[in-house]
Amino acid sequence: MNEGDVMADDRRVKLEGLIKNNKIKQAKVQLVRDMKKYHDIDFPEQDFVDYQQSEEVRRKVYERIRADKVQILKFPYDQEVLPSKSDFIFNYFMKYEDTTILFYPSIFTVGSNLRTGDQLYLNFPLAVAVPLRDCREMIMKLMSEMHNDLIVVSEELGFGFVLSEDEYSDVTIEYWEKS
* pLDDT tens digit sequence for 31-52: 888 888 888 888 777 789 999 9
Computed over every residue of the chain, the mean pLDDT equals 83
Whole-angstrom Cα distance, residue 40 to residue 138? Answer: 9
Instruction: Name the region of 163 (left: φ>0; alpha: ψ -120 to 50; beta: rest).
Output: beta
Region label for 40, one of left (φ > 0), alpha (ψ between -120 and 50) or beta (otherwise): left
Percent of all residues in the chain with a pLDDT value above 70, rounded to a whole number? 87
- What is the structure's pLDDT at 159? 95
pLDDT tens digit sequence for 65-90 = 999 889 999 988 888 888 888 899 99
Q: What DSSP state is assigned to residue 97?
A: T
pTM score: 0.82
150-154 β-sheet, strand order: 71-76, 170-177, 159-165, 150-154, 100-104, 128-131
CA distances (Å), origin 165, targets 28, 106, 126: 24, 11, 19
For the chain, how many residues are written?
179
Q: Please indicate whether residue 170 or residue 121 has the higher confidence score (pLDDT).
A: 170
